[in-house]
Amino acid sequence: MRSLLIIGTVLIASHYTFAQQYSYEMWHEGKIILTTGDTLRGLVKYDIQQDLVQFNDQKKTTEAYTPRKILFFEIYDNTVSRYRTFFSLPFAASGYYKTPVFFELLEEGKMTVLGRESLEYRTFSSPYYYGSYTRLVLVNKFFLMDDKGDIKEFTGKKADLLSLMGRYGEEVDKYIKANRLKIEDRYDFARAVDYYNSFFEKEQ
């Protein structure tokens, strides 16, 4: 019986690993604005691991572009039924040397939130037997950009976010709890920051 449970768990983990199709694996209707000023409209596919964007106008061969060649691109993502916009922005992943990197714009205002996705192996507890299993999952990472264009990775801790919000932190915390927002979710995170930004819009 124990062997059957173990096999069943492995099959379930495999199903979620291989059956789930992520947005970055799909072609999307979209447009690309190049640094030359040219606009490309057609099918767009982005590679989150290599920081590459592929374009296909269904007439020519597929072309690939790096962040150095693109100002921004936009797709309509059917997996979430909404438009998503990505900008090429200078960022120092390590050290002080900045290179262009693709970021998704999640919220713009007094606090601007950018996002990047990464694939990571995570360990999960099995509900069927005493033990755990590992599978590849899509992880959202958030970044905050100041009015000077400097980008810093967010720690992921709600307490740190509320601290950055100063006198409005308590109000935002109430909003997060009332709406059951999860800051690890990119749209919930953006919604919480949008609420914070709304205080400054009222002051204008």
pLDDT at 13 over 60: no
Rg (the chain; Cα; Å): 20
Q: Identify the pLDDT of residue 198.
A: 93
Confidence band of 16 (pLDDT split at 50, 70, 90):
very low
156-196 tens-digit pLDDT: 899 999 999 999 999 999 999 999 999 989 899 999 999 99
Give the residue, 18 or 165, on which the prediction is more confident: 165
pLDDT at 11 over 50: no
- Residues contacting 173, CB < 8 A, separation 6+: 158, 162
pLDDT at 9 over 70: no
- Residues contacting 60, CB < 8 A, separation 6+: none
Confidence band of 3 (pLDDT split at 50, 70, 90):
very low
Q: Where are the domains of the chain?
A: 2-153, 155-204
Write out the two tokens for 73. 């691109």
| 54 close to 45: Cβ distance less than 8 angstroms | yes
Q: Identify the pLDDT of residue 204.
A: 56
Write out the two tokens for 101. 């990197």
- Residues contacting 17, CB < 8 A, separation 6+: 135, 136
- Residues contacting 166, CB < 8 A, separation 6+: none
pLDDT at 144 over 80: yes
Q: Provide the phi-psi class of 109: left if phi over 0, else alpha when psi is between -120 and 50, else beta.
A: left
Write out the two tokens for 179. 């709406």
Q: Identify the pLDDT of residue 17.
A: 40
Q: Which residues pair with 28 in a beta bridge?
A: 44
pTM: 0.81
SS3 of residue 161 by DSSP = helix
Please, is 28 exposed, middle or buried when counting C-beta atoms within 10 Å of its C-beta (0-12, 13-18, 19+)? Answer: buried
Q: Identify the pLDDT of residue 4.
A: 35
